[in-house]
C-alpha cells in the first residue's frame, strides 16, 4: 500500500486572528538551515517507516508558498530517492493568494507541485479585513487565475458562518466561488478556537459568533448548492467533482499511514503516533541533536486505533467498512460501535447501514460531533 508524506512549513507573514495552527511570524528565515533540517527529518522517517511508495505529498503550514521553488525541488527529489513515487502522485502545496506568492507558482509547478490549495477565505473585502487577511478579493482572484494556469488541480478554502453572515450573502459568495472553475472547495464554518485573538475578542465583547441555528442553516445551504453544482460533499467540509477529491487528506480520513516532518507535524506509521516539536527553534535544535524532530512517539493500542479510525472515517460520505477495519486491527467487529445507539440513530434517519459499511446520513451530518460520541463503542474510548 502506498503512503503519504506531510511536510510542515511553519512561517507566515502574519498570524490570522482565527488561526490555531502551528504558524509563526519571524523577521527572517535561513532557508539553508531549514533545508538541511527538513532533509534530516525526512531521512529519519524513511529509515523507520520506509517500504511503500509515496502516493501523495502535502506541503502545509504556515504558508508553504513562501518557500522557494529550489527548496521544494530539493525536498521532492529526496523524497523520491528515499521512497520512490507511485504513478500519478499528488503533490499539493498550500498557498495564500498574494501577488508575492503568486509569482512563485510557475516555479513551484516546474519542480513538480501539481495541486494547489489556495486560501481565499472570503470573496468580500470587508470580510477579508475582519479575518485579518493580507490580500483583497481582487488580488485573490488574480492569484487564482495564475494558479489555474500552472497547476493541474486547484482547491479553494473559504470561511463562512462569520458574524451576521446571512443566507443571501453566503449564497451569493458561494455561487461566485462555484463559478471560478476549481474542482475542489474546502468550506469551513468559522469556529472560535482557544488561544486565538478571536477568542480574546469574543470574551471582550468585540463581536459575537453566529449562533448554532444560523450556522446550521448555512451548512445546509452549502451542501445543497455544492451538490447542485456537481461538487458534492465527500467529507463534512470538503466538496469536489468526482475524481478531484484530495487523495492526501483521504489518507488521513481512511486511517492509512502517513509520515509527517517539520515543526509540530503529527504522523502515524506502523501503529505508532509521532509528534514533532512545535516551536520552530525547538524543532531545529532537536534535529541538530538527534537527527530528527520527534518530541513524542508511542505505540497505539488497537482499541485506540479503532476509535480514531471511526472518528475520522465517519466524517466521509463513504462511511466506514466495519468488517475491513476489524480485519485490519484484529478486533471483533461487534466491539467497534455501540450497537444499541447505531440501531437507534439508524431508525431516526441519522445513520445509514449498507452491508458491513456504516455512515452518517445527510440529516445526521449537522449533528456529526454528537453522533460520533455515541456511535464509537465505550470500550474503545476507555481502553
Q: Report DSSP letters for 252-320, one per residue.
A: HHTT--EEEESTT-EEEETTEEEEE-SSHHHHHHHHHHHSS-EEEEEEPPHHHHHHHHHHHHTTBTT-E
Going by pLDDT thresholds of 50, 70 and 90, the confidence category of residue 48 is confident
Burial string for 204-215 (b: 16+ CB within 10 Å, else e) reads eeeeebbeeeeb
The percentage of the chain sitting over the pLDDT mark of 70, rounded to a whole number, equals 98
User: What strand order describes the sheet that includes 320-321?
Assistant: 320-321, 357-360, 351-354
d(CA 60, CA 49): 20
Give the CA distances from residue 14 to residues 32, 96, 104, 298, in Å, rounded to whole numbers and listed in that order: 22, 11, 19, 34
Average pLDDT value for residue range 93-121: 93
CATH for the 3-252 domain, from 3.20.20.70, 3.30.1330.60, 3.40.50.970, 3.40.50.1220: 3.20.20.70
Binning pLDDT at 50, 70 and 90, where does residue 315 land? very high
Rounded CA separation 18/201 (Å):
10
What pLDDT, on a 0 to 100 scale, did the predictor assign at position 383?
Answer: 55
Name the band, by pLDDT with cuts 50, 70 and 90, for residue 382. low
Q: Residues of CATH 3.20.20.70 domain(s) within the chain?
A: 3-252
Looking at the DSSP bridge assignments, the partners of residue 352 are 359
Q: What distance in Å separates the CA atoms of residue 161 and residue 94, rounded to the nearest whole number?
A: 23
Query: Which class does domain 303-381 fall in?
Result: mainly alpha
* Best CA proximity match to 178, nearest among 228, 128, 127: 228
pLDDT tens figures, 342-373: 999 999 999 999 999 999 999 999 999 999 99
The three-point CA angle 305-308-312 to 5° equals 140
Q: Per residue in 223-244, pLDDT tens?
A: 999 999 999 999 999 999 999 9
The grid coordinates listed for 193 are 478556537
**Cis peptide upstream of residue 176 (ω within 30 degrees of 0):** no
Burial of 181: CB neighbours in 10 Å, binned 0-12, 13-18, 19+: exposed
DSSP H or E stretch at residue 287: helix 280-290
What number of residues does the chain have?
383
Residue 191 cell numbers, joined:
469556529
175-214 tens-digit pLDDT: 999 999 999 999 999 999 999 999 999 999 999 999 999 9
Q: Are 277 and 266 in contact (CB under 8 A)?
A: no
Structure-block grid coordinates of residue 55? 502516493
**Nine-digit cell at 225?**
448548492
Domain boundaries for CATH 1.10.10 within the chain? 303-381
Amino acid at each position: 500500500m502506498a503512503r503519504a508524506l506531510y511536510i510542515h512549513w511553519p512561517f507566515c507573514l502574519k498570524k490570522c486572528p482565527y488561526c490555531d495552527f502551528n504558524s509563526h511570524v519571524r523577521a527572517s528565515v535561513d532557508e539553508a538551515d531549514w533545508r538541511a533540517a527538513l532533509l534530516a527529518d525526512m531521512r529519519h522517517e524513511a529509515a523507520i517507516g520506509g517500504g511503500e511508495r509515496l502516493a501523495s505529498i502535502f506541503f502545509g503550514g504556515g504558508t508553504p508558498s513562501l518557500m522557494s521553488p529550489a527548496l521544494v525541488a530539493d525536498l521532492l527529489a529526496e523524497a523520491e530517492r528515499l521512497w520512490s513515487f507511485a504513478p500519478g502522485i499528488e503533490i499539493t502545496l498550500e498557498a495564500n493568494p498574494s501577488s508575492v506568492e503568486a509569482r512563485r507558482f510557475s516555479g513551484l509547478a516546474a519542480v513538480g507541485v501539481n495541486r494547489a490549495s489556495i486560501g481565499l477565505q472570503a470573496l468580500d473585502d470587508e470580510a477579508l479585513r475582519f479575518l485579518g487577511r493580507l490580500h483583497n478579493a481582487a488580488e485573490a482572484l488574480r492569484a487564482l487565475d495564475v494558479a489555474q494556469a500552472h497547476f493541474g488541480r486547484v482547491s479553494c478554502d473559504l470561511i463562512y458562518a462569520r458574524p451576521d453572515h446571512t443566507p443571501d450573502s453566503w449564497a451569493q459568495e458561494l455561487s461566485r466561488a462555484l463559478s471560478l472553475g476549481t474542482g475542489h472547495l474546502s468550506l469551513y464554518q468559522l469556529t472560535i478556537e482557544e488561544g486565538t485573538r478571536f477568542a480574546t475578542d469574543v470574551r471582550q465583547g468585540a463581536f459575537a459568533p453566529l449562533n448554532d441555528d444560523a450556522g446550521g442553516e448555512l451548512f445546509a445551504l452549502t451542501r445543497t448548492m455544492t451538490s447542485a453544482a456537481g461538487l458534492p460533499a465527500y467529507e463534512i467540509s470538503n466538496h469536489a467533482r468526482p475524481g478531484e477529491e484530495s487523495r492526501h487528506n483521504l489518507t488521513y480520513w481512511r486511517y492509512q499511514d502517513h509520515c509527517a516532518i517539520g515543526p509540530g507535524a503529527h504522523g502515524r506509521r506502523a501503529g505508532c503516533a509521532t509528534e514533532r516539536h512545535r516551536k520552530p527553534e525547538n524543532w531545529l535544535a532537536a534535529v541538530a541533536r538527534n537527527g530528527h524532530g520527534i518530541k513524542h512517539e508511542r505505540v497505539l493500542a488497537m482499541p485506540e486505533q479503532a476509535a480514531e479510525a471511526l472518528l475520522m472515517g465517519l466524517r466521509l460520505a463513504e462511511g466506514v467498512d466495519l468488517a475491513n477495519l476489524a480485519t485490519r486491527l484484529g478486533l471483533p467487529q461487534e466491539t467497534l460501535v455501540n450497537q444499541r445507539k447505531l440501531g437507534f440513530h439508524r431508525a431516526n434517519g441519522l445513520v445509514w447501514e449498507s452491508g458491513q459499511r456504516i455512515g452518517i446520513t445527510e440529516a445526521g451530518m449537522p449533528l456529526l460531533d454528537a453522533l460520533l460520541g455515541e456511535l464509537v463503542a465505550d470500550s474503545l474510548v476507555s481502553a
